Amino acid sequence: MHIPDNYLSPQTCAVLAAAAVPVIGLALKKVKYQVAEKKETVPMLGISASLSFLIMMFNVPVPGGTTAHAVGATLLAILIGPYAASLAVTIALIMQAFLFGDGGILALGANIFNMAIIMPFVGYGLYRLFQKAHHSKIGVVIGAYLGINAAALMAGIELGLQPLVAHNAAGQPLYAPYPLHIAIPAMLFAHLLVAGWVEAGFTLAVYQFIYRVAPSELYATPVQPVDPQTPHRLQHALYLFIGGLIILSPIGLLSSGTAWGEWSASGLVAQLKHDHLGHSLPSGMAHGLNFNAIFSDYTVAGIPLSLGYILSAVTAVIIFYLIGKLVMNHYSTQS
């Protein structure tokens, strides 16, 4: 679901970035008030960004030779609130784009809009609807499943609109070449069939664990903590869980296919030839941005791919942790 650069026209990227910026700005204000009431929100933001980053490293195979992955946005919204979850996923997406080349730089606004805004707010809204009816677990599953599929639908619409909004005088697409009737089913197929269930299962499993050991730490809960050490114990447990995800992260390499709509230039040409839709890149894509990330595709030059995957995960988690510490120190000096 990470839209690469050059798949969306610059105008589309600008519109989606303009739509995302005010929401992220509002999230910053909301989280500032949230931190003032509960300082533990700051380290939980770093933990949440780490969780989302790591979950997205676990690619799963989809029938037809493509792959997909969970995001964890609904889980984070249930844990720390939708606005804080939006910030956490945004931080993860920025890290992925600039350091690991996963998702485009110009397309960052689109990816934030889909995965850091649509997904957590849709998922959390559905969860709260069922929670109020005293069916929290059902809300967790439905919220997570439909949240990621809402984001996938949005990505499919964005990609599928490109032949309509960006084409040359002859009507040939300049950017993503697949129209709506192909892009939307392709995106939804992978997520309705596979990724949505992975997202729902993972979200429910972690939710049940947190509800059992620290129910007061869930964002929308009337339960008040009776032990001031409960937040710290939960953080410790989640760091252990993050460590386990880091060790297991090379499992994501077992899915060798490429997610639909995330092909490299050569991969897209091969796909177009396979679908009998052309033999060359659309001209806008061929002359677009070519950003080379330091650890592109989570690889480190000179070391085995699996070890590079682990080192990439460790690097990201350390950066998220340090960001959390810096923010925490900032609030400590102000109080």
Higher pLDDT: 114 or 300? It is 114
pLDDT tens-place string over residues 312-327: 999 999 999 998 888 7
What is the separation, in whole angstroms, between the first and last Cα of the chain? Answer: 41
Closest CA to 67 of 257, 198, 268, 273: 257
Per-residue pLDDT at 331: 64
- DSSP state for residue 296 in the 8-state scheme: G
- 227-256: pLDDT as tens digits: 778 888 899 999 999 999 999 999 999 887
Gyration radius of the chain's alpha carbons = 20
Q: What is the mean pLDDT of residues 66-95?
A: 96
Closest to 234 in 3D by CA, of 94, 41, 1: 41
What pLDDT digit, counting tens, does each position of 125-139 carry?
999 999 999 999 999
Q: In terms of residue numbers, what domain contains 217?
A: 10-334
d(Cα 164, Cα 183) in Å, to the nearest integer?
A: 13
Number of structural domains found in the chain: 1
Q: Is the pLDDT of residue 37 over 90?
A: no
pLDDT of residue 222: 59
Query: Has residue 246 been placed in a domain?
Result: yes
The pTM assigned to this predicted structure is 0.95
Does 2 reside within a domain? no
190 Cβ contact partners less than 8 Å away, ≥ 6 residues apart: 62, 66, 67, 68, 152, 259, 260
In this structure, what CATH number is given to the domain that contains residue 262?
A: 1.10.1760.20
Which position has the higher pLDDT, 50 or 332? 50
Q: What is the CB neighbour count within 10 angstroms for residue 259?
A: 18
Mean pLDDT for the stretch of residues 295-313 = 91
User: DSSP 3-state assignment of 289?
Assistant: coil
| The two three-digit tokens of residue 291, written as one number | 């950003």
Domain presence at residue 228: yes
Residue 1 lies in a domain: no
d(CA 297, CA 249): 13
Helix (H) and strand (E) counts in the chain: 14, 2
In this structure, is residue 243 part of a structural domain? yes
**What is the CA angle 193-196-202, rounded to 5?**
130
Which amino acid is located at 123 in the chain? G
Mean pLDDT, residues 2-26: 97
239 falls within a domain: yes
Residue 3 lies in a domain: no
Give the pLDDT band of residue 158 (cuts 50, 70, 90): very high
Tell me, yes or no, whether 319 lies in a domain: yes
pLDDT band at 335 (very low <50, low <70, confident <90, very high): low
Helix axes of 230-248 and 196-213: crossing angle, nearest 10 degrees: 150
Phi then psi dihedrals of residue 176, to 5 deg: -50, 120
Residue-level pLDDT at 225: 57
Averaged pLDDT of the chain: 93
